[in-house]
């Protein structure tokens, strides 16, 4: 990994393994979601430590540590659990993280509950994480995502002197949305205690720069392509766009195995002799599931030649199942699936097949390979790894990607994908028809160009770009510290 081979500690809200209580025993399940998918290969490759919440709250029966030790043996890196209590789980995780920051940063301010108790709990849990990390003497602490934006400030208060870098997996909001947050100055000031802050896209970086300048918490200036620096008087912070990626070779290799080929045949048998549209998402309102169903329904209304020609397989990973809003989304989704199948099914054909669970990597690969069209149409998404996984798995380059212009991935894949505004149901319905009826040559040209981008800019390229930046920044600081001309007030970096 270039010259950035420091000891690495990853810090995120969730550990990559989640403990669940089942029949009086603890079960370990692999963590789901994009952050875990992206970071696991990095730590597996270079070793290190991962700090995060294992899904256990205080007061639950002992015995869960044994499960984590087994994951450590299997994965080759150390896991350091931070346990939350029930109140922290409700007010920090379900509260500030998922009922304030998630909707606000995805552009849904009306869904936010700006409860001051939630913000207080956010501070307490960030302090808990800072306590857990303060003793770690690794060279580089890489903190991830919106749950932990205050950790750097809290560590600096404990005289932590090492490098602190941060990556935001979700979008950074526009100034119009960010300034609705009652604690906007404090949150942004706290974030600026990191030395390097990474965003998914140019758009996010630009929004961040605007917020820093508009709210007057620093002076942000562009610093070359995809980079900016923020002058704070006593120190400087760097920020940049680093589009997250996948382990391309892993997906491409798996898709070409005999096992996956066999599963493709079985799957084709299960869905019938039709072309397949595929959706793969966590259950979340930001993923645009309802709009997607409406677009498919409209495509079926307007194009009778799609009847008994396509099926739509939607795979949904359960997420935040005990939150009312998510239960309501699932009910709404089920209702519309029932309506569409009720309206259009024939004795031989059912237009939507819907699975509500996690599938293993081979099965996911078979779905990606068989799909004629992948529907990746979030209303807003930091990056969206499904779009990249689909392309990497398309070893015969015959599938079409229908991609929302509001997914971070659109910055890299926009020219190969069929881009849509997911709020425009009519346009998305047309895009479905266009994708299904696209000629083989155009399909292959588009898919080839996207696969090239994804192969070149894979997850190792991404981590190396980010860590080298962190490393270079450290070198610059060291050079300045040993130079006579370095102004004294900047030595506190």
Residue with Cβ nearer ligand ADQ (152 or 244):
244
> Binding of ligand ADQ at residue 280 (CB under 6 A)?
yes
394 binds ligand ADQ, rule: CB under 6 A: no
Residue closer to ligand ADQ by CB (options 37, 473) is 37
Query: C-beta of 408: minimal distance to ligand ADQ in Å?
Result: 6
> Can residue 136 be called a binding residue for ligand ADQ (CB under 6 A)?
no
Q: Which two tokens stand for residue 428?
A: 């998305």
What is d(CA 198, CA 170) in angstroms, rounded to the nearest whole number? 11
Which H helix or E strand runs over 461?
helix 459-482
The residue among 35 and 467 lying less far from ligand ADQ, judged by its C-beta, is 35
* Beta carbon nearer to ligand ADQ, 8 or 383: 383
Does the active-site annotation cover 303?
no
Which residue's CB is nearer to ligand ADQ, number 43 or number 315?
315
| Dist CA 369 CA 394 (whole Å) | 5
Determine, following the binding rule CB under 6 A, whether residue 315 of this chain makes contact with ligand ADQ.
Answer: yes
- Position of tokens 């190969």? 416
Residue sitting closest to ligand ADQ (CB): 34
- Part of the chain binding ligand ADQ (CB under 6 A), chosen from 26-34, 40-48, 88-96, 444-452: 26-34
**Given the rule CB under 6 A, which of 15-23, 31-39, 149-157, 261-269 is the region that contacts ligand ADQ?**
31-39
424 is catalytic: no
**Burial of 91 per CB tally in 10 Å (0-12, 13-18, 19+):** buried
Rounded CA-CA distance 465/249 in Å is: 18
In this structure, what DSSP letter does residue 147 have? G
Q: Is 17 in the site for ligand ADQ (CB under 6 A)?
A: no
Options 145, 204, 247, 381, the catalytic residue: 381
Asked if residue 289 binds ligand ADQ (CB under 6 A), the reply is: no
Judged by CB under 6 A, which of 14, 46, 153, 169 binds ligand ADQ? 169
- 30 touches ligand ADQ by CB under 6 A: no
Distance CA 8, CA 49 (A): 7
Least distance between ligand ADQ and beta carbon 269 (Å) = 20
Q: How many angstroms separate the CA atoms of 196 and 6, rounded?
A: 16
User: In this chain, which stretch among 110-118, 186-194, 203-211, 385-393 interacts with ligand ADQ, using CB under 6 A?
Assistant: 385-393
List 169, 193, 229, 291, catalytic entry = 169
- Any alpha helices (H) in 278-424, and if so which ranges? 289-302, 324-344, 361-370, 385-393, 410-413
CA–CA dist 18, 15 (Å, integer)? 7
Checking 446-451 for CB contacts under 8 A at 24+ apart, the result is 446/400, 446/401, 446/416, 446/417, 447/391, 447/394, 447/397, 447/398, 447/399, 447/400, 447/401, 447/416, 448/397, 449/415, 449/416, 450/391, 450/401, 450/413, 450/416, 450/417, 451/391, 451/392, 451/394, 451/397
Instruction: Report which secondary-structure segment, H or E, holds 400.
Output: strand 400-404
Residue 383 touches ligand ADQ, criterion: CB under 6 A: yes
**Binding to ligand ADQ, residues 209-248 (CB under 6 A):** 244
Those residues with Cβ within 8 angstroms of residue 189's Cβ, 6 or more apart along the chain or in another chain: 153, 217
Residue 38, interface with ligand ADQ (CB under 6 A)? Answer: yes
Rounded Cα distance between 223 and 262, Å, is 51
CB 384 within 8 A of CB 413: no
Beta carbon of residue 378, minimum distance to ligand ADQ (angstroms, whole number): 8
Q: Report the DSSP beta bridge partners of residue 402.
A: 375, 418
Work out whether 317 is an interface residue with ligand ADQ (CB under 6 A).
yes
DSSP class of residue 277 equals E
Binding to ligand ADQ by residue 402, rule CB under 6 A? no
Identity of the residue, 116 or 318, whose beta carbon is nearer to ligand ADQ in the bound complex:
318
| CB contact set of 229 (below 8 Å; sequence gap of 6+) | 220, 221, 223, 236, 237, 238, 239
Considering the rule CB under 6 A, would residue 384 count as an interface residue with ligand ADQ?
yes
Q: Which CB sits closer to ligand ADQ, 149 or 438?
A: 149
370 counts as binding ligand ADQ under rule CB under 6 A = no
- Applying CB under 6 A, among 256, 264, 271, 359 the residue interacting with ligand ADQ is 359
Segment lying near ligand ADQ (by CB under 6 A), choices 30-38, 261-269, 333-341, 480-488? 30-38
Residue 364 interacts with ligand ADQ (CB under 6 A)? yes
The tally of CA atoms less than 13 A away on the side-chain side of residue 249 is 5
Instruction: Find the binder of ligand ADQ among 125, 386, 403, 477 (CB under 6 A).
Output: 386
- Residue 384 or residue 394: which is nearer to ligand ADQ going by CB? 384
- How many residues line the site for ligand ADQ (CB under 6 A)? 23
Catalytic positions, please?
169, 381
Binding site for ligand ADQ (CB under 6 A): 32-35, 37-38, 169-170, 244, 280, 282, 315, 317, 358-359, 364, 381-386, 389
């Amino acid at each position: 990994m270039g010259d950035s081979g420091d000891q690495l500690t990853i810090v995120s809200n969730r550990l990559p393994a989640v403990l669940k209580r089942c029949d009086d025993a603890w079960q370990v399940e692999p963590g789901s979601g994009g952050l875990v998918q992206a970071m696991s290969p990095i730590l597996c490759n270079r070793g290190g430590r991962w700090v995060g919440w294992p899904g256990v709250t205080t007061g639950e029966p002992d015995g869960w540590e044994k499960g984590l030790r087994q994951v450590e043996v299997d994965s080759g890196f150390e896991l350091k659990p931070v346990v939350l209590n029930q109140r922290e789980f409700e007010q920090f995780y379900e509260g500030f993280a998922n009922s304030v920051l998630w909707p606000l940063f995805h552009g849904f301010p009306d869904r936010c509950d700006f409860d001051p108790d939630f913000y207080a709990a956010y501070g307490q849990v960030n302090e808990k994480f800072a306590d857990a990390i303060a003793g770690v003497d690794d060279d580089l602490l890489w903190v991830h995502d919106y749950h932990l934006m205050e950790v750097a400030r809290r560590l600096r208060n404990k005289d932590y002197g090492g490098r602190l870098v941060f990556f935001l997996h979700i979008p950074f909001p526009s100034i119009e949305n960010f300034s609705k947050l009652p604690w906007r100055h404090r949150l942004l000031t706290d974030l600026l205690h990191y030395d390097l802050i990474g965003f998914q896209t140019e758009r996010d970086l630009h929004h961040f720069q605007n917020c820093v300048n508009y709210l007057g918490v620093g002076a942000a200036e562009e610093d070359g392509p995809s980079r900016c620096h923020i002058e704070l008087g006593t120190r400087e912070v760097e920020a940049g766009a680093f589009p997250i990626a996948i382990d391309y070779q892993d997906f491409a290799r798996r898709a070409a195995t005999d096992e996956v080929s066999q599963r493709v045949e079985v799957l084709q048998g299960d869905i019938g002799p039709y072309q397949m549209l595929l959706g793969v998402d966590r259950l979340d309102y930001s993923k645009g599931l309802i709009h997607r169903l409406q677009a498919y329904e409209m495509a079926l209304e307007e194009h009778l030649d799609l009847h008994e020609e396509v099926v739509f397989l939607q795979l949904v990973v359960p997420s935040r199942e005990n939150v009312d809003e998510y239960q309501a989304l699932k009910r709404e989704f089920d209702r519309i699936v029932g309506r569409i199948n009720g309206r259009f099914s024939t004795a031989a054909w059912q237009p939507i097949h819907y699975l509500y669970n996690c599938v293993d990597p081979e099965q996911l690969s078979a779905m990606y390979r068989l799909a004629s069209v992948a529907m990746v149409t979030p209303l807003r998404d930091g990056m969206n790894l499904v779009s990249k996984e689909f392309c990497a798995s398309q070893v015969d380059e015959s599938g079409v990607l229908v991609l929302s212009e509001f997914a971070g991935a659109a910055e890299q894949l926009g020219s190969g994908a069929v881009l849509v505004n997911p709020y425009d149901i009519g346009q998305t319905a047309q895009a479905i028809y266009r994708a299904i009826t696209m000629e083989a040559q155009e399909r292959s040209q588009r898919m080839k160009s996207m696969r090239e981008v994804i192969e070149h800019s894979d997850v190792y390229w991404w981590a190396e770009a980010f860590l080298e930046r962190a490393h270079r920044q450290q070198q610059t600081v060291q050079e300045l510290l040993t130079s006579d001309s370095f102004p004294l007030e900047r030595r506190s970096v």
